[in-house]
Structure 1
Amino acid sequence: MSGRRWGVAALAVGALSASLAVVPANADAETKGHHGFSKTRTVGYFIQWGVYGRDFRVKNLVDSGAAARLTHLNYAFGFLDESGKCVSADPWADWQMPYTAEQSVSGKADEPGQVLMGNLNQLKQLKARYPKLKVNISLGGWTGSRYFSNAALTPESRAAHVKSCTDMWIKGNLPGLPEGAAKGVFDGIDLDWEWPGSNGNMEPPNVVRPEDKRNFTKLLAEYRRQMGWNRDLTAFLPADPKQVDAGFEVAKVFTYLTFGTLQGYDYHGAWDPEANQQSALRVPKGDPAQFEFSSEVTVNAWLRRGAPRSKAVLGVPFYGRGWTGVAPGKRHGLFGTGTPAPATYEAGYEDFKVIKTKLADKKFKIHRDERAGFAWIYDGTTWWTYDDATEMKRKARFINDNRLGGAMIWSLDGDTADGELVKALAKALK
């Protein structure tokens, strides 16, 4: 998936010094969200590059009804340079692109010479319309995590990294603009280091060190030291238990995090020869894969290692994975071998809104594994697995039943124009 991450199956393979940070006694308490203490979090990622080919803008979150149903919006992504300091991945999309009245949340066009434009100005307008919505800058991602290890390596590098990121994104000091031009756009920071202690993206490869595991915890402590405890500090966390063990001191990490989002998708995909689930709640019977992946496996891995239920937020996908050349077999193509299905942006990957249109072709039939909790469509040769409104409700029940901290969406642009998935998910969450 462009700019984000590949599947977990493709990647399966001491106390802190008191000087780092002082953890308040109530650090594990629930943080008050968009709808108060009793409402489960609904976190959605808005992708920076969606304004191009997808023509998906912040205003779409208003038009679809998504913005009114979110507690948190993560803007993806800010990058790091080789020294570990924060930089923009795309200044044009972030703060330079002018918006017409029709494209704008406020209904007013950007004016010539306006200091702040682009996505950040639209996020500012969104916050004015939904003042309880928290908007966080997400740092890293699949293609932007190369230098996190450098940032976390020493006390000096950690301090410099956090200062650069808070100056740029929280204080709003953007390159080439007046001081504080983007102040107030972002409420907190979401770290998407993929992954401490183990490789994520390999082209080019990430910097990986054995000490990443303890340094990730120290990096969080430095964020709290500089940023305080009144702002969100969250992290995107892997599904693979092996990556959890390689990169995270789980109990310590969660003392610093407001919450952590657990990867609830990409369990299987185009990197596998067999057509298989990519976001099932439980491992389906007869799964031929070498490693067993499911949301249940992921959640249990984090909880058993010390993650508090109330801070464990389960990721859900607004996209699907597909194969073609798949023979029917006994289960409507499930576990049949094939190659990545042709798609809009990336072979084997398609937004929910596009997959849904395939059902208009009467050759495609929908199938569900009610026990494992996932769906797929199949026309006798092409096979797509994805989450529709029925599966979103099932995910919400799983979150409710396990008393988890909420749901996280990757990514909001995959939904239909009327917000079919986000509405089903948010309505079913308690």
Structure 2
Amino acid sequence: MGGYFAQWGIYGRNYKVKNIDTSGAARHLTFINYAFGNVYAKNGGYECDIITKAEPGATDPNNPEAGTGGDGWADYQKGFTSAESVDGTADAWGFAWDDPRNGKAGPLKGNFNQLLQLKKKYPSLKVMISIGGWTWSKWFGRAASTDALRKQLVSSCINLYIKGNLPFDSGGNAGGEGVGAGVFDGIDIDWEFPGGGGQPYNIVDPNDKKNFTALLAEFRRQLDAAGSQIGKRLLLTVAIGSGGDKIANTEPGEYSKSLDWINIMSYDYHGGWEATGPTDFQSNLYVDPESPNAKTEMGKTYNVDASVKGLLAAGVPASKIVVGVPMYGRGWTGVTPGPKGDGLYQPAAKPAAGAYEAGIEDYKILVNKPGKVYEHPVAKQSWKFDGTTFWSYDTPATVRTKVNYVKQNNLRGVFSWELDGDTADAEIMKVMGEVNGQ
């Protein structure tokens, strides 16, 4: 049972690694994926690296530099105070003799150090670096295109995140050889998406399908070699698109042989990008035959059950399938109540206002918004409607239904995107913990 910790959550949401502990979520987690690491054009190929640079694509996806951002400050350079720290100890600062010109290493700080502290408190917890994501999947298509480029990329990722050889910051106060060793127990590849369908600036190769399989095989080979040197098995997972079109663009039966498990991003089925609706579910377990999208390819395959069945049919073992649970909702406003007065499958004026982004809201905020909560008897998805604003999201009740589905189908487990969306007492995470009998 796992969850994604967002690198940027320490800013606007003020959600730090310590909150995973104080909320009670850590007691239920078996793994955390740290989102995200990026891949850059470097040394004649493509490599994992850590830089500090505002993401140009955040405001302009057509910018030539889109997809090349990074936040090394949050990763391992920011100093957390004793009050912000998992173990109550303030991060140490480097001194003059830690300067890289002297070949010394600065102390580990930032989110990486906090994750290491969390692992010390919860020894069975595994932490993985998740590489890519919606914004940083630009170079995967090219990096995976030849054997030599795959080897270069994988080697760089292991050097950076597993061996912990972190770049020095500009002042030489953070980074150095082996500084980050022990933080990460493996790698999660979140290529969004092989074959296209992601950001407009992503490189798409006609051979993405087979190259994705080959890239994962190379990660498995090099991770096994690196693990043998330190006496541990290093984990390899992926996060994949949930729809039938995304699954068809890959070879799940083949690539799953290289993996410990597959995280299905079983959410974002509908949302504010469909600005005028009709309103629909963003993370439903089953398709509702009455949905206006039910007869479309999206309607048929963009639901949890269809995704799971698609992977099983492709040859993926049930024991390698992990279902995603969103800790946020998708919504519209200016919604017509409709004949049932509940706003479902009705036209809208625009995406609903959100605390951080239009059309999206964290569960911790949604739970306190006005409106009546409904649960669809077929789709097994909840929504809230106040007469004009409609939010589709998972409640503890629908999360429990998903957990039971996972157990009944002998799947591996569940994970969440993202941990900072839950309440201060981890209301959703505690229900997810029932997958392990907690």
TM-score class, shorter-chain normalisation, is: 0.7 to 0.9
Residues 258-285 of structure 1 deviation map (CA, whole Å, 9 limit, x = unaligned): 0001121111111222111001111123
1:234 equivalent in alignment to 2:251: no
Equivalent of 2:261 in 259, 262, 272: 259
1:107 equivalent in alignment to 2:88: yes
* TM-score normalised according to structure 2 size: 0.85
1:405 equivalent in alignment to 2:408: no
Residues 151-202 of structure 1 deviation map (CA, whole Å, 9 limit, x = unaligned): 1111110111011000000000000122100100000000000111123112
Alpha-carbon distance between aligned partners in 2 of 1:184 and 1:412, rounded to the nearest angstrom: 22
Q: In structure 1, what is the equivalent of residue 210 of structure 2?
A: 214
AA matched with 1:52 = Y
Structure 1 residue 231 displacement after superposition: 1.0
Q: Percent identity?
A: 45
1:319 equivalent in alignment to 2:328: yes
Contact 1:400-1:429 within 8 A present in 2 as well:
no
Matches within 5 A, 1:17-416: 42-82=1-41, 83-88=45-50, 89-113=70-94, 115-176=107-168, 177-202=175-200, 205-228=201-224, 230-246=233-249, 248-272=250-274, 273-289=277-293, 290=296, 291-292=298-299, 293-331=302-340, 332-338=342-348, 339-358=350-369, 361=370, 364-416=371-423
Contact 2:413-2:435 within 8 A present in 1 as well:
no
Structure 2, unmatched stretches of 5+, are: 51-69, 95-105, 169-174, 228-232
Alpha-carbon distance between aligned partners in 2 of 1:348 and 1:253, rounded to the nearest angstrom: 34
| 3-state SS of paired residue (1:67) | helix
Alpha-carbon distance between aligned partners in 2 of 1:390 and 1:84, rounded to the nearest angstrom: 44
Q: In structure 2, what is the equivalent of residue 21 of structure 1?
A: none
Alpha-carbon distance between aligned partners in 1 of 2:91 and 2:241, rounded to the nearest angstrom: 39
Alpha-carbon distance between aligned partners in 2 of 1:190 and 1:422, rounded to the nearest angstrom: 21
Contact 1:197-1:210 within 8 A present in 2 as well:
yes
> Displaced runs of 4+ in structure 1, greater than 4 A?
none
Q: In structure 2, what is the equivalent of residue 424 of structure 1?
A: 431
Structure 1 residue 138 displacement after superposition: 0.3
Q: In structure 2, what is the equivalent of residue 20 of structure 1?
A: none
Residues 198-230 of structure 1 deviation map (CA, whole Å, 9 limit, x = unaligned): 23112xx21001111111111111112211072
Contact 1:399-1:429 within 8 A present in 2 as well:
no
Residues 396-421 of structure 1 deviation map (CA, whole Å, 9 limit, x = unaligned): 01111111110011000000000000
Alpha-carbon distance between aligned partners in 1 of 2:351 and 2:287, rounded to the nearest angstrom: 22
AA matched with 2:209 = K
Could you tell which deviates more after superposition, 217-226 or 284-293? 284-293
Contact 2:325-2:415 within 8 A present in 1 as well:
yes
The root-mean-square deviation of aligned C-alpha atoms, in Å, is 1.1
Residues 1:428 and 1:212: Cα distance change in structure 2 (over 3 Å): closer
Could you tell which deviates more after superposition, 80-89 or 314-323? 80-89
Alpha-carbon distance between aligned partners in 1 of 2:285 and 2:436, rounded to the nearest angstrom: 16
Alpha-carbon distance between aligned partners in 1 of 2:423 and 2:360, rounded to the nearest angstrom: 16
Alpha-carbon distance between aligned partners in 2 of 1:330 and 1:43, rounded to the nearest angstrom: 40
Alpha-carbon distance between aligned partners in 1 of 2:93 and 2:401, rounded to the nearest angstrom: 48
Contact 1:261-1:408 within 8 A present in 2 as well:
yes
Contact 2:414-2:435 within 8 A present in 1 as well:
no
Higher RCO, 1 vs 2 (CA within 8 Å, ≥6 residues apart): 1
| 3-state SS of paired residue (2:219) | helix
| 3-state SS of paired residue (1:370) | coil
Structure 1 residue 371 displacement after superposition: 2.1
Alpha-carbon distance between aligned partners in 1 of 2:176 and 2:193, rounded to the nearest angstrom: 35
Residues 241-262 of structure 1 deviation map (CA, whole Å, 9 limit, x = unaligned): 112112x111111110000011
Contact 2:382-2:393 within 8 A present in 1 as well:
yes
Alpha-carbon distance between aligned partners in 2 of 1:245 and 1:190, rounded to the nearest angstrom: 20
| 3-state SS of paired residue (2:257) | helix
Residues 93-129 of structure 1 deviation map (CA, whole Å, 9 limit, x = unaligned): 0011111111000101123326111000000100110
Number of equivalent positions? 382
Alpha-carbon distance between aligned partners in 2 of 1:151 and 1:186, rounded to the nearest angstrom: 22
Structure 1 residue 300 displacement after superposition: 1.1
Contact 1:396-1:429 within 8 A present in 2 as well:
no
Structure 1 residue 428 displacement after superposition: 4.6
Alpha-carbon distance between aligned partners in 2 of 1:179 and 1:161, rounded to the nearest angstrom: 19
Structure 1, unmatched stretches of 5+, are: 1-41
Contact 2:92-2:107 within 8 A present in 1 as well:
no
Q: In structure 1, what is the equivalent of residue 53 of structure 2?
A: none
